[in-house]
C-alpha cells in the first residue's frame, strides 16, 4: 500500500488480525440481518477467509493441510452432539421446543438448549444475546474449514471417486461394533486422511470416546468429510438460518428482563429490597462453601485446611458432601433461584440476618437485622449478556402500578476466569480499567480490591488494564503481543468486564437507580495463557489449579463486605 508521498506503508500482523476480527463481526451481523447463509457461498467463504487470515491460537493448525485436533475437541465440547451430521443448522429464539417431545441436547461446556429436529437439522436456542451467536458461528466456521480439508484429502482430483482410506473408514463406521484390531486399522486410515500420526489420533480417539458412543471420533471425522463430499459431488449445500423470532427479539433484553423481575419479586416478598444488597457474579459454589463448608463438614474434616475441604468439594464423586453444605446453607437463610427465563443464570440469595451463631466461618456484622447485608450471587453471564442482565437488575422495581422501588445496591463484585498475558494458569489479575477490543472505549474505575490483598499466597498477582474481547476464540499471538507491549498496559483478556461496567456506570452515574457511591470489585484468575503454545483454552481445563484462586478471591470479597 502506498501513501500520497510515495512511501510504502506496511501493516503489522496485529493490525491485519484486528481487521480480520472486524470483518468477521461485520459479516456475521450482516448474515444475521439477512436471515441465512451457505458456508460455501460468498458470505461463508468471507467468514472462512477471515478466520484463516486470523489463525487464532485456540484453533492451532487450522490454516495448515493437516487436521487441527485440539481445536476440534474444544469446539465440539461447545456444540451439540451430532451437529457434524446436520446439513441444516438453525439458530432460533426460545420458541417453545421445550414443550415438544424432542429432548434438548446440552453441550458439556456451554449451557444452551439444542434440538435435533430430524436427521438433517439441528436447532440451537439463543437466549444469551449476540455473543452467543458470534461464538457459535465462529465454531461452525472452524468445523466447515476442517470438513473441507478432509474432502480435499479424500477426493481424487477430476473424478467423483475417493481414496482407499476413506472407503475403509466408511466401512468401519457402518459396523455395529469394532474389535480392537478393526478399530486400530480404522484409526490408521483416519490418521492418513487427517495428515496426523497414529499416536496423535489414538490420543484424541480416547478423549472423544464415551460409554454410549465409543467410536464417536471416527463418526465425527466421517460425517464432517461426508457432508463436504456430498456438497462437492452432488451440489447439496449446507445452510445456516436465523429464525424470524430471533431476529425480532435480539437486543431487546427479553430474557434479561424476565430474569431480573423474577429475582426482584423474590427479594420483595422476602422484604430484602431495602436491605444493603451486595451483588457477586461468581460460580454457584464458592460463596456458599466459603461461608458454610467448614461448619457443615466439621466431622468429616476435623483437621483439614480450608483448601483441602474445597478441593474435596470440587471432586465429582463427592456429591454427598456438597448436599450437606447446601442443606446447612438453606437452614441459615440461603434461597436458591433456578433460572426459568432462558438466561441460564441461576441465583443464590444469602440473608445474613438468618445465619445462626457458629454456622458460618465469618465474623458477621452485629448491626440491626434490617441493616445486615444480603449477598446476591449470580452465575456467570456470557459476553454481552452481562450488560443485559445487570442493566435490568439495577433498574427500579415496580411493586405496584406507578409505584417504583429502587434496589439498595451497596456493591457489585465480579470474579471470573480470564486469559493472562504474563504468568500461568491459576495466577491472578486485578484490573484498574477495562477496554473494549477493536475500539478505544475505556472504562476506568476504582477497584476495591488491589494486588496487595492477594500477596503471600504463592500465586502471581498482576494489576493493570483488562481487554474485553468480542470472543475468546478469535485471539492470536500478534494481537495479544500488541496488547501486552502497548501503552494500554494490558494484563489479560475476558469477555464481560466492559459490559458489566457499562451497566453499573449508567445505573449509578446517569440513571441514578442505585447510589453513586456503589463499590466495585473485579478480580480474575487465569484459565490459560494464550501467548504460550500448549497453554490455551484448547489445552484443557484447570482441574484443581482453579480451586485456590477461586476461594482466595471469594474470601477477600466476603471479608470486605462483612467489614464494610
Q: Kindly state the average pLDDT of the residues 314-329.
A: 95
- 140 near 114, Cβ under 8 Å? no
> Could you read off the pLDDT of 463-500 as tens digits, one per residue?
999 999 988 778 888 888 888 888 888 999 999 999 99
> What pLDDT, in 10s, does the model give residues 361-370?
998 888 888 8
pLDDT at residue 1 greater than cutoff 90: no
Dihedral angle, C-alpha 125, 131, 135, 141, nearest 10 °: 100
Q: Which of 121, 131, 136, 151 is nearest to 75 (CA)?
A: 136
**What mean pLDDT do residues 417-437 have?**
94
pLDDT at 488: 86
Half-sphere exposure of 428 (CA within 13 A, CB side): 27
Interacting residues of 204 by C-beta distance below 8 A, sequence separation 6+? 69, 72, 73, 217
Band (10; pLDDT cuts 50, 70, 90)? confident
Q: Which residue has the higher pLDDT, 146 or 399?
A: 146
Decide: residue 438, CB within 10 A, 0-12 exposed, 13-18 middle, 19+ buried.
Answer: middle
Q: CA torsion angle for 148, 152, 158, 163 (degrees, to 10)?
A: -130
201 strand-pairing partners: none
For the full predicted model, state whether its pTM sits above 0.85.
yes
Q: Which among 58, 28, 44, 91 is positioned nearest to 228, based on CA atoms?
A: 44
Mean pLDDT of the region 165-194: 96
C-alpha 291, offset from chain centre? 26
Tell me the β-bridge partners of 415: 523
* Average confidence (pLDDT) over 5-23: 80
The band of 7, judged by pLDDT with boundaries at 50, 70 and 90, is low
SS3 166: helix
Residue percentage of the chain with pLDDT more than 90? 77
Residue 435, all three cell numbers = 477496554
**CA-based nearest residue to 373, from 503, 173, 560, 104:** 560
- Quick: pLDDT tens for 515-555: 999 999 999 999 888 887 555 666 555 567 889 999 999 99
What is the Cα–Cα distance from 25 to 67, expressed in whole angstroms? 25
pLDDT value, residue 474? 82
Contact, 256 vs 391, CB < 8 A?
yes
Picking from 61-70, 82-91, 374-383, 529-538, which range would have the lowest pLDDT averaged per residue?
Answer: 529-538
SS3 138: helix
Nearest partner of 500 among 326, 381, 354, 333, judged by Cα: 381
Q: Exposed, middle or buried, 269 (CB in 10 Å: 0-12/13-18/19+)?
A: exposed
* Measured distance CA(287)–CA(310) in Å, rounded: 11
**pLDDT tens track for 181-236:** 999 999 999 999 999 999 999 999 999 999 999 999 999 999 999 999 999 999 99
Cβ-contact 296, 430 below 8 angstroms: no
In angstroms, the CA 170 to CA 186 distance is 9
Per-residue pLDDT, 533: 57
**How is residue 401 annotated by DSSP?**
T
Distance CA 95, CA 125 (A): 8
- According to the model, what pLDDT value does residue 392 have? 96
Q: Nearest 5°: CA angle at 501, between 500 and 506? A: 105
What value does the mean pLDDT take over residues 157-173?
A: 95
What pLDDT is recorded for position 137? 96
pLDDT, residue 538, reads 61
Residue with cell 492470536: 476
Q: CA–CA separation, 65 vs 70, rounded Å?
A: 15
Phi, psi of 478 (to 5 degrees): -65, -45
Q: How far is CA 29 from the centre of its chain?
A: 20
Q: What pLDDT does residue 18 have?
A: 87
**pLDDT by residue (tens digit) across 258-276?**
999 999 999 999 999 999 9
Residue 512 scores a pLDDT above 80? yes
Per-residue pLDDT, 394 = 97
How far apart CA 561 and CA 278 sit, in angstroms, is: 7
- Which residues, listed in sequence order, are joined to residue 442 by a DSSP beta bridge? 435
Residue 57 confidence (pLDDT): 85
Amino acid at each position: 500500500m502506498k501513501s500520497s508521498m510515495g512511501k510504502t506503508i506496511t501493516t503489522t500482523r496485529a493490525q491485519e488480525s484486528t481487521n480480520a476480527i472486524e470483518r468477521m463481526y461485520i459479516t456475521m451481523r450482516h448474515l444475521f440481518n439477512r436471515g441465512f447463509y451457505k458456508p460455501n457461498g460468498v458470505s461463508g467463504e468471507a467468514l472462512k477467509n477471515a478466520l484463516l487470515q486470523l489463525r487464532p491460537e485456540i484453533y492451532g493448525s487450522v490454516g495448515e493441510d493437516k487436521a487441527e485436533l485440539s481445536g476440534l475437541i474444544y469446539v465440539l465440547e461447545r456444540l451439540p452432539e451430532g451437529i457434524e451430521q446436520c446439513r441444516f443448522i438453525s439458530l432460533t429464539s426460545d420458541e417453545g421446543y421445550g414443550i415438544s417431545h424432542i429432548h434438548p441436547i446440552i453441550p458439556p461446556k456451554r449451557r444452551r438448549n439444542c434440538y435435533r429436529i430430524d436427521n438433517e437439522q439441528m436447532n440451537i436456542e439463543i437466549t444469551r444475546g449476540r455473543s452467543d451467536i458470534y461464538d457459535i458461528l465462529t465454531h461452525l466456521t472452524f468445523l466447515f474449514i476442517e470438513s473441507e480439508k478432509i474432502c480435499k484429502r479424500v477426493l481424487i482430483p477430476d473424478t467423483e471417486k475417493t481414496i482407499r482410506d476413506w472407503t475403509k473408514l466408511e466401512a468401519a463406521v457402518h459396523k455395529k461394533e469394532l474389535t480392537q484390531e478393526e478399530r486400530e486399522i480404522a484409526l490408521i486410515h483416519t490418521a492418513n486422511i487427517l495428515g496426523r500420526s497414529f499416536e496423535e489420533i489414538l490420543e484424541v480417539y480416547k478423549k472423544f470416546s464415551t460409554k454410549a458412543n465409543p467410536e464417536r471420533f471416527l463418526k465425527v471425522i466421517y460425517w464432517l468429510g461426508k457432508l463436504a463430499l456430498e456438497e462437492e459431488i452432488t451440489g447439496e449445500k449446507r445452510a445456516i438460518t436465523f429464525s424470524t423470532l430471533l431476529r425480532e427479539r435480539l437486543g431487546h433484553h427479553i430474557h434479561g428482563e424476565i430474569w431480573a423481575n423474577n429475582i426482584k419479586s423474590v427479594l420483595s416478598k422476602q422484604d430484602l429490597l431495602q436491605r444493603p444488597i451486595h451483588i457477586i457474579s461468581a460460580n454457584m459454589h464458592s460463596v456458599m462453601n466459603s461461608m458454610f463448608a467448614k461448619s457443615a463438614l466439621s466431622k468429616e474434616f476435623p483437621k483439614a485446611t480450608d483448601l483441602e475441604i474445597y478441593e474435596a468439594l470440587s471432586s465429582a464423586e463427592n456429591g454427598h458432601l456438597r448436599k450437606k453444605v447446601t442443606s446447612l446453607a438453606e437452614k441459615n437463610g440461603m434461597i436458591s433461584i433456578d433460572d426459568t427465563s432462558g438466561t441460564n443464570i441461576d441465583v443464590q440469595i444469602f440473608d445474613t440476618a438468618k445465619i445462626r451463631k457458629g454456622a458460618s466461618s465469618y465474623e458477621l456484622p452485629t448491626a440491626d437485622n434490617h441493616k445486615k447485608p444480603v449477598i446476591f450471587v449470580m452465575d456467570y453471564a456470557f459476553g454481552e449478556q452481562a450488560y443485559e442482565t445487570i442493566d435490568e437488575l439495577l433498574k427500579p422495581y415496580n411493586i405496584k402500578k406507578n409505584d417504583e422501588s429502587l434496589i439498595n445496591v451497596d456493591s457489585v463484585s465480579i470474579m471470573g476466569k480470564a486469559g493472562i498475558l504474563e504468568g500461568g494458569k491459576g495466577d491472578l489479575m486485578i484490573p484498574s480499567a477495562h477496554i473494549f477490543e477493536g475500539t478505544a472505549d475505556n472504562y476506568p474505575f476504582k477497584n476495591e480490591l488491589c494486588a496487595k490483598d492477594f500477596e503471600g499466597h504463592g500465586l502471581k498477582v498482576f494489576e493493570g488494564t483488562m481487554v474485553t474481547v468480542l470472543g475468546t476464540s478469535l485471539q492470536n499471538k500478534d494481537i495479544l503481543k500488541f496488547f501486552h507491549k502497548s501503552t494500554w498496559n494490558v494484563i489479560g483478556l475476558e469477555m464481560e468486564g466492559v459490559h458489566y461496567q457499562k451497566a453499573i456506570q449508567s445505573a449509578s452515574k446517569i440513571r441514578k437507580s442505585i447510589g453513586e457511591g456503589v463499590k466495585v470489585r473485579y478480580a480474575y484468575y487465569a484459565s490459560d495463557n494464550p501467548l504460550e503454545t500448549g497453554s490455551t483454552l484448547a489445552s484443557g481445563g484447570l482441574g484443581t489449579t482453579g480451586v485456590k484462586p477461586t476461594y482466595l478471591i471469594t474470601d477477600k470479597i466476603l471479608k470486605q463486605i462483612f467489614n464494610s
